[in-house]
Chains A and B, each alone.
Chain A
C-alpha cells in the first residue's frame, strides 16, 4: 500500500511530501529493490525532532508491527514496537529496559537508529549497548541477523546510523530485573549552574539515574550566576521499600496521555514571558532537598508523555531542539550556551543537563563522556545565527550535536563533529552503493 503524504519531524518545521509505504518484514527487501530515484527511509513514531525520518519526494516506510516475546531475559520485538508497549509488556514480568529516553513513544527501530540514551548513560551506556542482535534488510534485499561480535562494523554503523545502512525489522534486547515499577527519587535545588555542575560531577556516579532541569532565563540572584536548576536522581525502588498501598500494585503500568494539546494553537505561546512564568513555578515547586520520594516509572522517566502532541504548543512555526555534548573539561561551553540564550531572549521551555559516560563504538553515535545540554527553542528569526555560533563553540571543544534532534546543522560542521563519518561512508558503500536509503537529514548533511 502506498499513499502521498506530508511528513515532518516532531519540531513541525520543514514539512515535505513523500510516499508512505507499508509492508511486513518479509516485504522490505522488495520495497527497497523497487524504491524510486529518491530512495527510502524507515520511520518509527515520528519523534525525531528534525528531518531524520522524512524523505522528500521519495518513500517512507511506516512502522513494522508485531507482538513482543520474552526469551529468557531477552525480549524480541518488531522494529515498529513502541517502548511504551514494550515497557507495558515487560513490567508484569518484573523486567524493564536498561535504557529509556525521555519519551516512551519511540520505536525500537528508531531507538537503534538514533542510539538513544537516557538518564543512566553514565552507568548503562546507550540503547545500542543492550542490543543482542537485530534483523537488518539491506538494499540488495537480503536479511541478515547482525550482532556486535559477528559483524561489528555493520552493527556499529547501524546503531546510531540514522537508518541509512538498512531497514531494521526486529531486534533482540537485553532487559533488567526490577523489583518494582517505582523509582526512589532524590531532588535538590541549586541557585546557579556552577553549584549544580559541581554537585553532578561529584555525586552522579553514586546514582543510576540523574538529570537536571535548568532555567535558561534566570539571571541569577545576588552572588549567584545564571542557571538556577533542579537536580533529580533516582534508583529503582526495592519491593521492601514500598508502603502498604504501593505494594498492592508493585508494577503500575504507564498509561496513555490523559491530556492533549489542542490543534490550531498560534505561534508565540511559548515566549520568554510564558517560559519565565513556568520556570518560576517549576523552580519554586521543587523542594530545596527531598529524598525517598517514590515516583512511577512514567512520572520519573517520561514526564512529557502525559500531554499528547505537546509539540503543538509551539504553534505553526514549530521549534528546534538543540542538544550538544562536550567533554568534561569544556563545561564552560554549557555555561556560555545558557548565558548566551538568556542574553538573547531565545527562551528554552525545557533545558536539560546530564552527564554522559564514555562513548561506544557507534560510528555516528552521539554520546561521549562529558556534559550534554538539550534545549527546546521556538523557531524564530535570529535563532539560526545564534545556534551557528554555539555549533562553532561545540566543534572547538571537541563536542557534537545530536542528529536525532537536529534540523539545521550545516554539512561542514557535521563533518567536524563526527570524525568517524568516513568509516560510516565506507560501510554504506558496501551495503548500499546506490544510496537507496536516503533521508532529508542525509541530504542536508551530505551523509
Chain B
C-alpha cells in the first residue's frame, strides 16, 4: 500500500536500469519498498539489482523488452499477482541519433515502438492492475521535448509528446478507479543516455528528478516539471510563432 505520507511498499520499475528509476527507488529508501526491476537480462540489470540489494532493498528481476508488446500483459499480471503494485515507473526509452532518427526508417520505427507503442502497451496493462487493486500510482517519464516538438530532435520529441498525452489521459480515466498517473517532464538530465551531449540550460540530475517524483506521488500531483522553472519557460516557448521558433537555437 501507499501510506498516508505517500510512501509505497512496492515499486515496479519498467526500464529497471534507468538511472532515474534507480535514483527514485533510493529516494524512497526509508520506506524500504520491495523493488521489481523489469529490464532486459544482462550485466546492467544484474549490476542494478546487486547494488539495490546491497543497500537493503528486497529486489526481484523480471525480463522485459519494451518492443515485445505481446509479452507485456502476462508479465505485468505476473508481477501484480505476487503483491500489489503501489507505484509503477514507466521509465524506459531511447534517444537515438537525431539525424539518423528521421532519415533511417528502422531507427525511426524503433524509437516510436519503444517510446510510444511500448509505453502505451504497459500503460494499458498497468491501468488494468490499478482498477483491480482500487489504488496505485503510475509514474510516466515524459520529457520537455514532448511539450513543443523541435526540429533538432523531432522524432524523439514526437514519441514523448504521444506518450505524454496518453498518460495524462490515462490519469483522468483512472481517477474514478482509485488510481493516479503522474506525468514527469524533465528537461536535460545528466545520465548515460545523454552522456557526451552538450547540457542544455536548466539541466538536472537523476536525483533531482527522483526527488520531484517522490514529492509528486506524495502530493497526488498529475504533472510535474523538473526543474519547476521549466514549466514557465516551456509555456512561453509553446506560444512562439513557428517562423520565429524555427530561428531559435534549440
Binding site for B on A (CB under 8 A): 6, 9, 11, 13-18, 38, 50-51, 55-58, 317-318, 320, 379, 381, 383-385, 388, 407-408, 410-412, 440, 443-444
Contact = CB atoms under 8 A, between A and B. Distances in A.
Nearest to B214: A381
B4 A56 contact: no
Nearest to B132: A57
Contacts of A6: 178
B148 interface: no
A408 B134 contact: no
Contacts of A50: 4
A137 B238 CA distance: 62
Interface string B90-113: 000000000000000000000000
Contact of A379 (B4, B133, B134, B215): B4
Nearest to A388: B30
B218 A15 contact: no
A342 B208 CA distance: 29
B5 A320 contact: yes
| The 9 A-B residue pairs with the shortest CB-CB distance in the complex, in nearest-first order | A17-B178, A57-B134, A407-B4, A13-B4, A56-B134, A17-B134, A408-B3, A16-B135, A384-B5
B3 A56 contact: no
Contacts of B181: none
B7 A408 contact: yes
A223 to B, nearest CB: 37
B32 A57 contact: no
B31 interface: yes
Contact of A14 (B2, B132, B219): B2
24 contacts: A6-B178, A14-B1, A14-B2, A15-B178, A17-B134, A18-B178, A50-B4, A51-B4, A56-B1, A56-B135, A57-B132, A57-B178, A317-B219, A318-B4, A320-B4, A379-B6, A381-B218, A383-B5, A384-B3, A407-B4, A411-B9, A412-B32, A443-B1, A444-B1
B175 to A, nearest CB: 10
Nearest to B133: A57
B138 to A, nearest CB: 15
A9 to B, nearest CB: 8
Nearest to B83: A443
Contacts of A412: 32
Given A15-B178, A16-B135, A17-B134, A410 B32 contact: yes
| Contact residues of B: prevailing secondary structure | loop
Contact of B134 (A9, A16, A383): A16
B7 A17 contact: no
Given A57-B135, A384-B30, A407 B3 contact: yes
Given A6-B178, A388-B30, A410-B32, A14 B133 contact: no
Given A17-B177, A56-B178, A410-B31, A444 B134 contact: no
B28 to A, nearest CB: 10
Contact of A18 (B2, B84, B134): B134
Given A17-B135, A408-B4, 5 more contacts: A13-B4, A14-B4, A17-B177, A57-B132, A444-B3
A407 B2 CA distance: 9
Interface of B: 1-7, 9, 30-32, 84, 132-135, 176-178, 215, 218-219
Given A17-B177, A17-B178, A385-B30, A379 B135 contact: no
Contacts of B178: 6, 15-18, 56-57
Contacts of B31: 384, 410
A314 to B, nearest CB: 11
A315 to B, nearest CB: 12
A48 to B, nearest CB: 12
A443 B84 contact: yes
A50 B3 CA distance: 9
A440 B136 CA distance: 12
Contacts of A11: 4
A162 to B, nearest CB: 14
Given A6-B178, A388-B30, A440 B4 contact: no
A54 to B, nearest CB: 9
Contacts of B218: 381
Given A56-B133, A57-B135, A384 B7 contact: yes
Contacts of A16: 134-135, 178
A17 to B, nearest CB: 3
A384 B176 CA distance: 27
A408 B5 contact: yes
A249 to B, nearest CB: 42
Nearest to A18: B134
Contacts of B132: 38, 57
Nearest to A8: B4
A58 B132 CA distance: 9
A382 to B, nearest CB: 9
Contacts of A388: 30
A297 B28 CA distance: 46
A241 B178 CA distance: 55
Q: Which of B9, B30, B135, B215 counts the most A-chain CB atoms under 10 A from its CB?
A: B135
Contacts of A444: 1, 3, 9
B104 to A, nearest CB: 45
Nearest to A382: B5
Contacts of B176: 17
A156 B19 CA distance: 49
B29 to A, nearest CB: 11
Contacts of B5: 13, 320, 379, 383-384, 408
Contacts of A440: 1, 135
A15 B6 CA distance: 11
Contacts of B177: 17
A407 B5 CA distance: 8
Contacts of B135: 14-17, 56-57, 440
Nearest to B7: A384
B1 A51 contact: yes
